[in-house]
Amino acid sequence: MESSVFILPRKKSEELGIPILSSDNLRKARNVEEVSNEDIFKELGNRAEEKIEEEKSFIWDSVNVNPKFRRQYIEQFRRNGAKIICLLMVTPKEICKKRNEERDRVVPDDAIEGMDNILDCPALFISRLDKSN
C-alpha cells in the first residue's frame, strides 16, 4: 500500500475518514498565538513524513497560494513515496473575508489581501499531479 496526500476541504475529509494535517489545527493544539509560520510548517511537514512512512493517507489542509511552497511540499512528499491527489478550492476573496469574521483566530485583512495578490495556480500545476489509474 502506498501513502496518498490529499489536498481537500475539511468537510470532504470527514466524509472519507482521512486525517487532516492543518496549520490552523496545529496552532490550536499548541494553544500559542505567536508561533512562526516556519515553525508550524516544519512540524506539519514532519507529521506528514510520519504518515508517509506509515503508508497512511492524509489531507494537507493549507492555503498554499504560493507555487514555490506548494511545489516544495509536493516534491518532498513524492520523494518519500506518496501519491499526490489535489482538489483546489478557489474561494472569492469576499467570501473568504466573511468566513474569516466567523473564525476563532481571525486572519488580518492585509494578510488575506496579500494571499489574494499572490494566488497562482496555473494549469501546468494541475496537469502535473499524480493521476489514479
pTM: 0.67
The low-confidence residues of the chain, meaning pLDDT below 50, are: 1, 124-128, 132-133
Residues 6+ positions from 53 with CB-CB distance below 8 Å = 80
Q: Which fold has domain 4-127?
A: Rossmann fold (3.40.50)
The predicted pLDDT at position 124 comes to 44
Q: What cell does 103 get? A: 473564525
Domain ranges of the chain: 4-127
The predicted pLDDT at position 87 comes to 65
